[in-house]
Amino acid sequence: MMDKQPETGGAYQHIVRAEGISLSYGKIRALQGIDLAIGRNEIVGLIGDNGAGKSTLIKVLTGVVRPTSGKLYIRDKPVDWTHYSVREAHRLRFETVYQEKSLGEKQPLWRNIFVGRQITNRFGFIKVAEERRIANDLLKNQLGFRGVGIDADSTISKLSGGERQGIAIGRAMHFDSDLIILDEPTVALAISEVRKVLDFVRSIKASGRACIYIEHNLAHVHALADRLIVLDRGRIVADIKSGEMTLEELTKFLIDLQQSGHAVGVG
């Protein structure tokens, strides 16, 4: 596990808070005035139709793209956009499992686990044996890849969709992240693999961390999340605490939203 750094420990109310975040891609207003705060041990489900802005929002939170306007606070401290990047988000212990392929196809597993965060000796050389050993331990003991013919030297291209998500999730576990963001991690998975991802989300909660979980399967997020945030055409249109809506009510709400053709302000 990585050492605790001063700015990542201590007392804080929100692991991340966004204020008035807007982002346009040319004429497309992907995000419009997003206000959002995630508590330090909160599991927040982010839902909404394709194109609603879910992936764009998490890309802003994790330093992949810079918004057109708005503010970001991490552990209650303002972020300077000019110094915010994926690397900085990693350093602040945010880990993201992206919807798009985020692993190097031809690279062995151990390289993928440590990409961007190599273990080096004092001369700057990568400690290959140590990375390989940790990768094998992660595969066998944490991810349950036992006896399926996969080890630290297997290449990513040999893995199924679920196994790839497992690697990305294993990375988040190893680096002891405080905020883990999953962008539709179950979309291409078999049912048995979906269960593993859901168990992992539960373990994030149990270990005191926070999670933003983007999921198209409403039953899954409804069952797991402390709070659900609904995005519609770049705006937050509902913020629903666990227990406030049944799954049926939630489903109806989203269908009505789709049919209304335009966003209605709720909550």
Ligand X SMILES: Nc1ncnc2c1ncn2[C@@H]1O[C@H](COP(=O)(O)OP(=O)(O)O)[C@@H](O)[C@H]1O
Binding site for Mg ion (CB under 5 A): 54-55
Question: Residue 123, exposed/middle/buried by CB under 10 A (0-12, 13-18, 19+)?
Answer: exposed
Comparison of 114 and 253: residue with beta carbon closer to ligand X = 253
Angle 7-8-14 from CA coordinates, rounded to 5°: 105
Pairing of strands 210-214, 179-183: parallel
Segment contacting ligand X by CB under 6 A, of 8-16, 25-33, 89-97, 158-166: 25-33
Residue 243 beta carbon to ligand X: minimum distance, rounded to whole angstroms: 25
Rounded-to-integer distance, Cα 62 and Cα 54, Å: 13
Residue 250 beta carbon to ligand X: minimum distance, rounded to whole angstroms: 17
Rounded-to-integer distance, Cα 68 and Cα 206, Å: 36
Which partner in Mg ion, ligand X, none is near 25 (CB below 5 to 8 A by kind)?
ligand X
Strand, coil or helix: 91: helix
Residue 38 beta carbon to ligand X: minimum distance, rounded to whole angstroms: 17
Tokens 């420990």: give the residue: 9
Segment contacting ligand X by CB under 6 A, of 11-19, 22-30, 126-134, 198-206: 22-30
Which partner in ligand X, Mg ion, none is near 30 (CB below 5 to 8 A by kind)?
ligand X
Q: Does residue 55 interact with ligand X by CB under 6 A?
A: yes
Which one of 11, 50, 122, 147 is in contact with ligand X (CB under 6 A)? 50
Looking at the DSSP bridge assignments, the partners of residue 44 are 212, 227
Comparison of 58 and 113: residue with beta carbon closer to Mg ion = 58
Residue 81 tokens read as 């956009």
Rounded-to-integer distance, Cα 43 and Cα 15, Å: 12
Which one of 4, 5, 9, 28 is in contact with ligand X (CB under 6 A)? 28
Q: Are 116 and 107 in contact (CB under 8 A)?
A: no
Segment contacting ligand X by CB under 6 A, of 13-21, 47-55, 121-129, 147-155: 47-55
Rounded-to-integer distance, Cα 13 and Cα 123, Å: 39
Q: Does residue 52 interact with ligand X by CB under 6 A?
A: yes
| Contact positions vs ligand X (CB under 6 A) | 25, 28, 30, 48, 50-56
